[in-house]
Amino acid sequence: MTKRVVITGLGVVAPNGTGLQDFRYALLNGVSGIKHDPELQRLLFSCQIAGKPQITEELLRGYFTELEIKNLESTGIVYGVIAGMDAWKDAGLESSPSAYPDWDCGTIFGTGTSGLDKFRSSIYKIDDLQVRRLGSTVVAQTMASGISAWLAGKLGMGNQVTTNSSACATGTESILMAFERIKSGAATIMLAGSTSDSGPYIWGGFDAMKVCTFKHNDSPEQGSRPMSATASGFVPGSGAGALVLESLESALQRGAKIYAEVLGGNMNSGGQRGSGTMTAPNSEAVQRCISTAIRQAGIDPEDVDLISAHLTATSKDALEIENWSAALNRRGEDFPYVNSIKGMIGHCISAAGSIESVAAVLEISEDFIFPNINCDDLHPEIAQRIAPECVPLACLHQEVNVVAKASFGFGDVNACIILKKYQNG
C-alpha cells in the first residue's frame, strides 16, 4: 500500500534572498539578486554578471563550528547545509540524539560538482610537493556526496544518505527520488534538495560555450530575460534549495504544518537521439516526461494552474513553451500561467530545480504567482502559441492548486514533478 507524501519544511539560499522570509519578499516583489561580479570582469569573462547568495560570517557561525569555518572552501556545502538545516528546523524537526541515528530519516541532496575552489588549492599544494599540508577536510569537501554526508552528520540521519547528479535537472530529480522512497515505505522523512558552488571555475565552461549573456554587464538586473524577445543567454547563478518530504501519516501524527502534497512525477531521457544532443533537448522526450508525470499524478492536463518552467533565457525558451503546449494540449488563453524565477536569480545550474521548487511550494501554500521580470517584450514565437496574460508581469494574488515543475538538463535528461495544495481525505 503506497503512502501519500507531503512537504513539511522549506529552506533556501538564493541570490535574491537567504532564508524563507527574504526569499518570499523577493518573489512577491520581483527583486533581482543578479549583480556585477568584479572577479568575472578581472578574468575577462564575456558575461560579467552573476546571481550569487550573500553569506555573512555571522550567518556561517549559526551552522558551522569555528574549526569547520577555518577550513571550509566549498560554497556548495555552505549553501546546502544552511538550506538543509533551515528546512529541517522549519519542519519542526531536531537532530537525532548523539548516540543514535534516526533510522527513518535520510537525505537525497544533489550537486553538479563539489568544492572546486578547495580542489584547485589542493592541486597547487600537490604540485608544490606539499601533499602533507592538504589537511583533513579535502576529501569531505570535494567528493560529490560531501553535501549529503555533511547534512546527515549534522542531523543524525540513519536512512538512505546519498547525492544525485543530473545536471540542471538535479534538484527536481532529488525531490522525485525522495518522494518514491517515502511512497514505498522505505523511509518516513527525507530531506531533498540540491546545491551549486559559486565562482568562475563553475561558470567558466558555460561562458566559453557562449550560452551566457554579455549584453547586460552594465545593467545586471536586466540581464536574465526568460521568454523575452531580447533574451541573449542565461546569467550564471548559485545557491541551494531544500524540502522536507514526509509521509502524510507522520506529518499528521506530529501536527506538522503541511505546505503542499507531492502527487507524483516522472524522469526520463531523450537518449541524445533525434533532436536531442548533449546540450539540446529531444522534444519528444520532454513531452513524454510531462504527460507521464501528469498521468502518474492522477490528474488531467486541464487541472494544472501554473507551470514552474525551466526557461533559461536562451533560444530554447520558445521550444520549451511549444513542448508544454503539446504535452498538455493547451494553448492560447487556455494555457496555464507560466513563470520562471531565473529572471530574478539567473540559472543556478544543479541548484535550479530545488530553489524553483521551494518557490513553487510557496506559491501553492500562500496563493500567489510571482512575476516574470524582464519579460515586457514577450518572444513573438511564444506569443503566437499562448496568450500574453498567461505570462504575468506583476505578482498575482489568487488561488493556486496544482503546479507542474519541470527541469531539463545537459545530457538530454528531464524531470517533472506535480505539486498540489494539500486537502485532507
- Residue 377 phi/psi, 5° resolution? -120, 70
pLDDT tens track for 49-68: 999 999 999 999 999 999 89
Tell me the pLDDT band of 307, cut-offs 50, 70 and 90: very high
Mean pLDDT score, 16-28 = 98
Q: Which regions of 46-140 does DSSP assign to beta strands (E)?
A: 49-51, 105-111
Q: What DSSP designation does 134 have?
A: S
CB atoms within 10 A of CB 370: 26
| pLDDT value, residue 208 | 93
C-alpha span between 300 and 372 (Å, rounded): 26
Q: What DSSP designation does 190 have?
A: E
Among 118, 124, 197, 109, which residue's Cα sits nearest to residue 160? 109
C-alpha span between 134 and 140 (Å, rounded): 12
Q: Is the pLDDT of residue 132 over 90?
A: no
Q: What is the CA radius of gyration of the chain?
A: 20
pLDDT tens track for 161-200: 999 999 999 999 999 999 999 999 999 999 999 999 999 9
What are the structural domain ranges in the chain? 5-254, 265-420
Among 343, 423, 332, which residue's Cα sits nearest to residue 383? 332
Beta strands 239-247 and 260-269, pairing class: unpaired
| Domains 5-254 and 265-420 belong to one CATH topology | yes
| pLDDT value, residue 309 | 98
Q: Give the three cell numbers for residue 169.
A: 535537472
In this structure, the chain runs to a length of 425
Class of domain 265-420: alpha beta
Q: How many CA atoms lie within 13 A of 256 on its CB side?
A: 30
pLDDT tens track for 98-130: 789 999 999 999 998 865 665 555 554 555 556
Class of domain 5-254: alpha beta
